[in-house]
Chains A and B, each alone.
Chain A
């Protein structure tokens, strides 16, 4: 039987030790009228080669990034993943372990996550970070919950320019909290400062995304100044790679920085597993959700690591916990730590400069195409929005026939942007890719909407 070592003889002898005549006798507590009659209607069993052949067939029904020239982003990005990242995250010592409940037998996981926390703190400029949450969206939602508790207020302002996923997940998370959730209108692709100011009184949190869903840089200094005197906490959802060159959230007064960390060493993987990170000041450390790893010593003064401030957490504090999170994204956080170590100070900066350079090259190339315009003129990083003479959905469909995925259709999320595409660029998009995108779009427009 797959994965069950017991033989019939083992079973007999074990039953004898137990003092039971049969396995059936062990099930006596399960009422007979509730028992499953016959077999479950599930497929299998399959042997390993049968299984792999089935799985390969399923996988082959997908068209993946390797087969197409892709400019899909929107929070999940197709970056080069160094082989050493996969090598480390594939080590059974890491991936078959669990939450380090027994610190003395889990120092590897604990130190790696402590290092992850340090890397996130250094990127964001904030003093402390946690061991991860599920993704960037739930990180933003958890930050709102922190701010609601810290300010004892009940209003959250959420930038309408933030990723639709960030907004919809935050809305779901806050549904039970009796919270007034206000989506701030957009002006010129970024947060409307007048609307922010109007709504600011009594707000617990102001959540912005920087760069935002359109790739645009928010007026962070102005936002930071407005929020500073309001009593609300500024929550900045940031792209970790951008932080190699962009001012860190601490510089514009963010009390909490969150973000999606998938771009640090994880594949796009149909959007999961992702990696939510959270950082804050020491003042708010006791409101952070989830695991936090701390450095300490053993009885002989040797350096060691433990889960700390556990009285925040559900297994101790139950209904008064800062969050319900238990299992997090530990292995993805490990991968991010390996990834950042491999790239290092220079490498991450080079990566960010490459992304900025390639995305600007792409924006220029597309803006030159007859009939295409840049929707916004503010500064951007990685992503930008183009406006087409007809619906973006049609452009996407036509270009996919020639193996180009030109970006995300804004019309899915913004009713007045049906002709707009968010184009996303990584270091994997060569000049040739970008040129083929431009010529592809040009051809579709020239033919009146056909590839």
Chain B
């Protein structure tokens, strides 16, 4: 990113559509070695397009420079801390990228016969087994391509389970600290999301839960550790209450990083859960995706998993060992065109093998250590609505700053950008006013944490002594604070030559 002085010298990067010249192109196709057909005759004039789509016309060097200049405008994990709470922006190991680039993986068509896809099916099978072991689940589907997809698949499993028991239920309980995807997935699956308030410690209010749970409760969707970075210590009781009413317990595994090798949701009695390979298992976030949200279930729900399921027959009765099981009459169906984001699975598999059992536990321990350390460094300067030890993340509040000089969490976030650091997740969870939700992850060094804390301390000072510096931030980024209401009002989501 540019500094304040170079910012003024550099104009904005023009769009693709403002560059290039008619007739220019950046790639040559292999020569056509069959006769060119007459489109009008072969396809019919009524199916043809009058004008070719107005695509840019650029040389390869222009394309590469354009996107390279755009790249310079991004903050990213390889550059500095990216402490978005509940996003687990850990370092993405280089070797995983190399493994996922092997032609044997990248060039295999999804419709290949199983006998020609033994490596890929084996990888899906064994990764599923490892994730089951890590989570305490019995069976895992790698088909959901993101966490929210895993949630939807999970809620549809809940639906199928109750349908098989002869009576559909109506509601799914979701704590008020939950990710927005939870109630959205509940609704998409045809359930009503019933929100329950958290108690003063930021945990599920077990008495309130007892009041809300009834014979119409299909499930509870719970995040543990939750989005406040607090472990639900009474998870067993929560599970029992829901189970006694005939409901199921869905665990949102977005925060599984804190639990690796320490505690398994399955052992706590959870029936099903999704994991996020792009969080816990180090696969890159891709500027928004692709991710992967495998769904794990206990034995009693295994029949409902999306089909096909990667399976193994060590006797090789059909001539090979690994295959896809399509004979799943009780399956909820497919949630993806193929088998999910396969190359993401390759990276997660590589990560687990690199770490091994002790390494996985060390990940969780150091994620928790780093979060507690950073919390201790920041606690004197910001409010900490839910005090005490945290797990992998913690939530500060800029309430003190807002009451004092009007500096908000948003301003603090923008000021962090001026220092070349990324901001935490802000205004989430919704139950914390002026929230700054911080997840450093285990891959930050102590020096990186110290630097982040020093900048946050400096911003806290500025908020009191020179609040305009904070509310006027950012000034060192490629653009200043952007006008979001204008973006929504004068909607411009497609370039129209001007």
For A270, give the chain B residue with the smallest CB separation: B342
A7 to chain B, nearest CB (A): 9
**B:286-345 near A, CB below 8 Å:** 286-291, 293, 306, 332-344
B116 pairs with A62, CB closer than 8 A:
yes
User: Measured between alpha carbons, how far is A99 from B23 in the docked complex, in Å?
Assistant: 35
A105 pairs with B183, CB closer than 8 A:
no
B104 pairs with A122, CB closer than 8 A:
no
A128 pairs with B146, CB closer than 8 A:
no
**Contact pick for A396, options B97, B113, B289, B483, CB 8 Å:** B113
5 A-B interface contacts by CB (under 8 A): A31-B235, A61-B119, A291-B288, A331-B288, A358-B34
In this assembly, does A300 line the interface, its C-beta being within 8 Å of a C-beta of chain B? yes
**Contact pick for B123, options A48, A58, A131, CB 8 Å:** A58
A30 pairs with B495, CB closer than 8 A:
no
In this assembly, does B147 line the interface, its C-beta being within 8 Å of a C-beta of chain A? yes
A232 to chain B, nearest CB (A): 21
- Considering the complex of A and B, which 8 residue pairs feature the smallest CB-CB distances, nearest first? A271-B338, A59-B104, A330-B288, A176-B190, A271-B110, A44-B356, A331-B286, A45-B356
User: Measured between alpha carbons, how far is A75 from B27 in the docked complex, in Å?
Assistant: 23
A114 pairs with B493, CB closer than 8 A:
yes
**Contact pick for B190, options A35, A177, A247, A343, CB 8 Å:** A177
A224 to chain B, nearest CB (A): 11
**B:41-89 near A, CB below 8 Å:** 42-44, 46-50, 52-58, 60, 63-64, 66-68, 70-79, 82, 84, 87, 89
A107 to chain B, nearest CB (A): 4
B112 pairs with A72, CB closer than 8 A:
yes
**Contact pick for A331, options B89, B282, B287, B413, CB 8 Å:** B287
**Contact pick for A119, options B55, B67, B231, CB 8 Å:** B55
**Contact pick for B53, options A66, A78, A109, A122, CB 8 Å:** A122
In this assembly, does B352 line the interface, its C-beta being within 8 Å of a C-beta of chain A? yes
B27 pairs with A82, CB closer than 8 A:
yes
A176 pairs with B159, CB closer than 8 A:
yes
B289 pairs with A329, CB closer than 8 A:
yes
In this assembly, does B405 line the interface, its C-beta being within 8 Å of a C-beta of chain A? no
Question: A151-159, A167-175, A196-204, A441-449: which one contacts chain B?
Answer: A167-175
Residue from A3, A92, A95, A268 having most chain B Cβ neighbours under 10 A: A3
**Contact pick for B148, options A58, A104, A327, A405, CB 8 Å:** A327
In this assembly, does A100 line the interface, its C-beta being within 8 Å of a C-beta of chain B? yes
When distances are taken between beta carbons in the complex, the residues of chain A under 8 Å from B6 are none
B336 pairs with A134, CB closer than 8 A:
yes
**A:96-124 near B, CB below 8 Å:** 96-109, 111-115, 117-119, 121-123
In this assembly, does B165 line the interface, its C-beta being within 8 Å of a C-beta of chain A? no
When distances are taken between beta carbons in the complex, the residues of chain A under 8 Å from B60 are 82, 84, 342
In this assembly, does B278 line the interface, its C-beta being within 8 Å of a C-beta of chain A? yes
When distances are taken between beta carbons in the complex, the residues of chain A under 8 Å from B451 are none
For A93, give the chain B residue with the smallest CB separation: B71
When distances are taken between beta carbons in the complex, the residues of chain A under 8 Å from B236 are 31, 34
In this assembly, does A367 line the interface, its C-beta being within 8 Å of a C-beta of chain B? no
**B:173-213 near A, CB below 8 Å:** 179-181, 183-193
How many chain B residues touch the partner (CB < 8 A)?
202
A448 to chain B, nearest CB (A): 22
B55 pairs with A122, CB closer than 8 A:
yes
When distances are taken between beta carbons in the complex, the residues of chain A under 8 Å from B442 are 3-4, 6
A40 pairs with B354, CB closer than 8 A:
no
User: Measured between alpha carbons, how far is A379 from B488 in the docked complex, in Å?
Assistant: 43
A273 pairs with B145, CB closer than 8 A:
yes
Across the A-B interface, how many residue pairs have beta carbons closer than 8 Å?
722
B110 to chain A, nearest CB (A): 3
User: Measured between alpha carbons, how far is A173 from B492 in the docked complex, in Å?
Assistant: 30
**Contact pick for B152, options A102, A168, A324, A357, CB 8 Å:** A324
In this assembly, does A228 line the interface, its C-beta being within 8 Å of a C-beta of chain B? no
B493 pairs with A344, CB closer than 8 A:
no
In this assembly, does B24 line the interface, its C-beta being within 8 Å of a C-beta of chain A? yes
Contact of A353 with B493 at beta-carbon distance under 8 Å, contacts A11-B369, A40-B133, A427-B30 already known? no
In this assembly, does A227 line the interface, its C-beta being within 8 Å of a C-beta of chain B? no
In this assembly, does B468 line the interface, its C-beta being within 8 Å of a C-beta of chain A? no
In this assembly, does A14 line the interface, its C-beta being within 8 Å of a C-beta of chain B? yes
Contact of A136 with B180 at beta-carbon distance under 8 Å, contacts A105-B75, A172-B156, A343-B25 already known? no
**Contact pick for A76, options B193, B338, B352, B486, CB 8 Å:** B338
**Contact pick for B181, options A51, A291, A314, A396, CB 8 Å:** A314
In this assembly, does A360 line the interface, its C-beta being within 8 Å of a C-beta of chain B? yes
**Contact pick for B104, options A25, A60, A431, CB 8 Å:** A60
When distances are taken between beta carbons in the complex, the residues of chain B under 8 Å from A313 are 180
When distances are taken between beta carbons in the complex, the residues of chain B under 8 Å from A111 are 13, 15, 70, 73
In this assembly, does B428 line the interface, its C-beta being within 8 Å of a C-beta of chain A? yes
**A:391-431 near B, CB below 8 Å:** 396-397, 400, 405, 408, 427-428, 430-431
**Contact pick for B26, options A168, A173, A343, A351, CB 8 Å:** A343
When distances are taken between beta carbons in the complex, the residues of chain B under 8 Å from A98 are 82, 84, 87, 89, 285-288
A59 pairs with B74, CB closer than 8 A:
no
B43 pairs with A381, CB closer than 8 A:
yes
**Contact pick for B36, options A131, A176, A353, CB 8 Å:** A353
User: Measured between alpha carbons, how far is A388 from B174 in the docked complex, in Å?
Assistant: 55
In this assembly, does B484 line the interface, its C-beta being within 8 Å of a C-beta of chain A? yes
A44 pairs with B55, CB closer than 8 A:
no
In this assembly, does A323 line the interface, its C-beta being within 8 Å of a C-beta of chain B? yes
- Size bracket, chain A contacts: 35 or more
When distances are taken between beta carbons in the complex, the residues of chain B under 8 Å from A299 are 480-481, 483
Contact of A109 with B106 at beta-carbon distance under 8 Å, contacts A1-B362, A96-B284, A341-B26 already known? no
When distances are taken between beta carbons in the complex, the residues of chain B under 8 Å from A25 are 389
A274 pairs with B338, CB closer than 8 A:
yes
**A:234-289 near B, CB below 8 Å:** 243-248, 251, 260, 267-274, 282, 285
User: Measured between alpha carbons, how far is A314 from B366 in the docked complex, in Å?
Assistant: 31
User: Measured between alpha carbons, how far is A385 from B263 in the docked complex, in Å?
Assistant: 53
When distances are taken between beta carbons in the complex, the residues of chain B under 8 Å from A136 are 337
User: Measured between alpha carbons, how far is A145 from B185 in the docked complex, in Å?
Assistant: 13
Contact of A64 with B482 at beta-carbon distance under 8 Å, contacts A127-B494, A344-B56 already known? no
A104 pairs with B333, CB closer than 8 A:
no
In this assembly, does A184 line the interface, its C-beta being within 8 Å of a C-beta of chain B? no
A327 pairs with B120, CB closer than 8 A:
no
**Contact pick for B24, options A114, A168, A327, A344, CB 8 Å:** A344
In this assembly, does A348 line the interface, its C-beta being within 8 Å of a C-beta of chain B? yes
A176 to chain B, nearest CB (A): 3
Contact of A330 with B262 at beta-carbon distance under 8 Å, contacts A246-B48, A350-B29, A408-B111 already known? no
A26 pairs with B369, CB closer than 8 A:
yes
A104 pairs with B357, CB closer than 8 A:
no
In this assembly, does A29 line the interface, its C-beta being within 8 Å of a C-beta of chain B? yes
When distances are taken between beta carbons in the complex, the residues of chain A under 8 Å from B37 are 353, 356-357, 360
A39 pairs with B357, CB closer than 8 A:
yes
In this assembly, does A137 line the interface, its C-beta being within 8 Å of a C-beta of chain B? yes
When distances are taken between beta carbons in the complex, the residues of chain B under 8 Å from A324 are 148, 151-152, 181, 184-185, 187-188
B58 to chain A, nearest CB (A): 6
In this assembly, does A188 line the interface, its C-beta being within 8 Å of a C-beta of chain B? no
When distances are taken between beta carbons in the complex, the residues of chain B under 8 Å from A145 are 188
**Contact pick for A348, options B33, B53, B67, CB 8 Å:** B53
The proximity string for B residues 463-498 relative to A, scoring 1 for CB distances below 8 Å and 0 otherwise, is 000000000001001111111101110111111000
When distances are taken between beta carbons in the complex, the residues of chain B under 8 Å from A69 are none
| Inter-chain pairs besides A3-B442, A122-B53, 18 sampled, C-beta below 8 Å | A2-B355, A5-B444, A26-B368, A26-B389, A30-B263, A84-B64, A90-B97, A95-B286, A102-B414, A108-B73, A118-B16, A119-B16, A134-B149, A271-B342, A297-B482, A306-B484, A345-B54, A428-B30
